[in-house]
A and B are shown apart, each in its own frame.
Chain A
Amino acid sequence: MPVASKSADLIRKYEGEILQDWVQAQMSAVTSRPDLMQKAELQEQSRALLQNLAQTLRTGADVADIKGAAWQDVRDFLDSVSQSRARQGFSPSETATFVFSLKEPIFARLQRELAKDAPALAAELWALTVLLDKLGLYTTEVYQKSREGVIARQQRNMLELSTPVVELWEGILALPLIGTLDSERTQLVMEALLTRIVETGASIAIIDITGVPMVDTLVAQHLLKTVAAARLMGADCLISGIRPQIAQTIVHLGVELGDVTSKATLAGALAVALQRNGLAITRSPQRPA
């Protein structure tokens, strides 16, 4: 079990010096981002990591196994640093450099301290290299995970935002779709539409696909699924907002829209829906000036 016990004493002995050199090195490195982080904050983070590291090393923790319980504190600290840096807009390599740059100041002191004992120096350097490399890579992993978390959250928000069902008229619902339709989204759209049909007792739903960038066989299939589900609830569906380009694609792909009425514009679909409900819009004889 490789340990770095000498480094623990060394860090304790020269803590101030190492910290100063380390912060200096970080500030002057190309990866330094003074626009994103003040020196005081950097110093504070560096000091905390150094202390955490020294404490864990002193317990004789295995440097090859940073997933172990002994490294819990260090991992927690790196988690928070990495996550906050991901939010602040640091790049992954800038975040990892925070850990990697600690090598130089410690190695310099180790060399001085163990100048006469070459085998011990080599062993100590190796142990520290293994440790710091692993910790650096760990920050990258956490960074990536927190980024993925952000993306997943945004995706969820987008899904929720993008499925409004609006009541155009008594008994007429409109579902303006924006963005690509995948199966997960179709499910949400369907649920939203059917729930609104029950709530409003609507007999006609207009699915407007003006905001759908492309309609391939899969999207068409999803649309038809939604139409079929609405029909099972006793509501007819009209599809509107088919752009000329999309109409061409639909025909070239041989997509069958079945007996679903489609209209070029939402206005056209609304007119059909009103007519089916026995309603009509007329121009008032006295037009306001």
Chain B
Amino acid sequence: MDRIPILKMGEYLLVTVQVDMHDRLAMTLQEDLADRIVKARARAVLIDISALEVVDSFIGRMLGSIAAIARVLDAETVVVGMRPAVAITLVELGLALPGVRTALNVEKGMEILRRSLETSRGNGAATEAVAQPTDADAQG
């Protein structure tokens, strides 16, 4: 497997890591994801790492930089399904991933993303009241 599939669902991008990540795979994912966020105009990225059993400092840093890249492109990132052993390893490595939002499972992760998109849209609605009808038209 030479790349990890990225699924698009509306404004969300879903990434499910089903294999153990090696360095090259993580680099590819980072590049692909940056491309897809721009192309798909995604507002939120959900990365499911529940199948990931082994992490090293490189993969840990990669998760952090993916989240940072997404933030620069104005997309929220949430990492879900981290295993206890993986969490302990990352903490012991000194990688607490301060900029990354986390959730226990996909369901909770989606909930977090949905809520944060709603808040940002709510703020947007207040300042750009004029633009709102056109948005609604476009969606309808």
Contacts and interface: CB of A to CB of B under 8 A. Distances in A.
Specify whether A and B are partners.
Answer: yes
Interface in B73-131: 79-80, 82-84, 86-88, 90-92, 96-97, 102-105, 108-109
Given A232-B96, A233-B82, A194 B88 contact: yes
B103 A234 contact: yes
Contacts of A231: 96, 102
Interface residues of A, number: 18
A233 B104 contact: yes
Given A191-B84, A194-B84, A198-B84, A229 B91 contact: yes
Nearest to A225: B91
Interface residues of B, number: 19
Given A191-B84, A194-B88, A232 B104 contact: no
B82 to A, nearest CB: 5
Nearest to A194: B84
A228 B104 contact: no
* Interface-central residue, B84, B86, B105, by most chain A CB under 10 Å: B84
A194 B105 contact: no
Contact of B90 (A187, A232, A235): A232
B104 A197 contact: yes
Given A201-B104, A233-B102, 11 more contacts: A190-B88, A191-B88, A198-B104, A201-B108, A203-B104, A225-B91, A228-B91, A231-B102, A232-B91, A234-B80, A234-B82
Interface of B: 79-80, 82-84, 86-88, 90-92, 96-97, 102-105, 108-109
